[in-house]
Amino acid sequence: MRMETFIRKALRLKAHTVIKVEEDEAAGKLVVHLERVGQRRLRCGVCGLEAPRVAPTRRPLRRWRDLAMREHLVELQYAPARVWCRWCGLRVERVPWADQWQRVTHALARAVATLARVLDWKSVAGHFRLNWKTVAAVVEGAVLWGLEHRRWHPLHVLGIDEVSRRKGQQYLTIVYDLDRRRVVWVGRDRTTDTI
Ligand SMILES: [Zn+2]
């Protein structure tokens, strides 16, 4: 399978496609060039509905970081279209690979948000080679999403784990909801006060 096809499938693109993947050796990254497909309909960046028309002018080129491939950073490049939305008027399209104001793809945002539960933001930024402001924006986005989508169910089965981050040093206490297989809380130290 060609690299372009592989990335198109991984990003689940329908109205867009990968036209070229280039290696930027100096920067150690793969640059993925995206374009829209023919006359497929695009979505409004505000309400998310399919827009009946696409305006002739584009927005300037934008870049999004995606999950790295081995040691290579991956960067998507695309000039978003403007669409005429029935309800919102002339707006920038909603791209399917990232939330509107984020500089990383959904996949990278999920990885960042997960690691940010157990590491400080600076370490997370270092791990993914991102600016800490990008990490902050992802975490804030994840918290907002969580608040909007959370329903509090009673916790029936709790699992509690203690993780030492470095041998003999700092401990984290992690509380799991075993029924629903997710982390509900992470705290520093391992005292009963933490619980
Ligand atoms: Zn709209």
Domain count, the chain: 3
Q: Considering the chain, what is the average pLDDT of its residues? A: 84
Q: Is the dihedral of CA 180, 166, 72, 121 positive or negative?
A: positive
- CA–CA distances in Å: residue 15 to residues 50, 82, 94, 101, 128: 11, 14, 11, 20, 28
What's the pLDDT score for residue 70? 87
Examine residue 193 and state whether it is found in any structural domain, yes or no: no
One-letter identity of residue 110: R
Claim to verify: residue 104 and residue 93 sit in the same structural domain:
no
Examine residue 194 and state whether it is found in any structural domain, yes or no: no
Q: What is the pLDDT of residues 78-127, one digit of tens each?
A: 999 999 999 999 999 999 999 988 999 999 999 999 998 898 888 999 99
Q: What is the pLDDT of residues 165-189, one digit of tens each?
A: 555 555 666 666 665 556 666 666 6
pTM of the shown model: 0.73
Distance 49 CA to ligand 1 centre (A): 6
What's the pLDDT score for residue 100? 85
Claim to verify: residue 4 and residue 82 sit in the same structural domain:
yes
Claim to verify: residue 83 and residue 105 sit in the same structural domain:
no
Distance 191 CA to ligand 1 centre (A): 51
d(CA 124, CA 115): 7
Q: What is the pLDDT of residues 49-61, one digit of tens each?
A: 999 999 999 999 9
d(CA 149, CA 67): 25
194, pLDDT greater than 80: no
Claim to verify: residue 171 and residue 114 sit in the same structural domain:
no
In which element (H, E) is residue 67 found?
Answer: strand 62-69
Claim to verify: residue 3 and residue 89 sit in the same structural domain:
yes
Distance 152 CA to ligand 1 centre (A): 31
What percentage of the chain carries pLDDT values higher than 70? 74
What's the pLDDT score for residue 88? 95
d(CA 188, CA 182): 18
Distance 40 CA to ligand 1 centre (A): 17
Examine residue 195 and state whether it is found in any structural domain, yes or no: no
Between 46 and 141, residue with greater pLDDT: 46
d(CA 125, CA 121): 6
Look up the domain containing 162 and give its range: 158-188
- CA–CA distances in Å: residue 125 to residues 14, 31, 105, 128, 184: 31, 20, 15, 5, 23
Question: What value does the mean pLDDT take over residues 122-139?
Answer: 91
Distance 85 CA to ligand 1 centre (A): 5
Residue whose C-alpha is closest to residue 113's, from 94, 131, 134:
134
Distance 52 CA to ligand 1 centre (A): 10
What's the pLDDT score for residue 162? 60
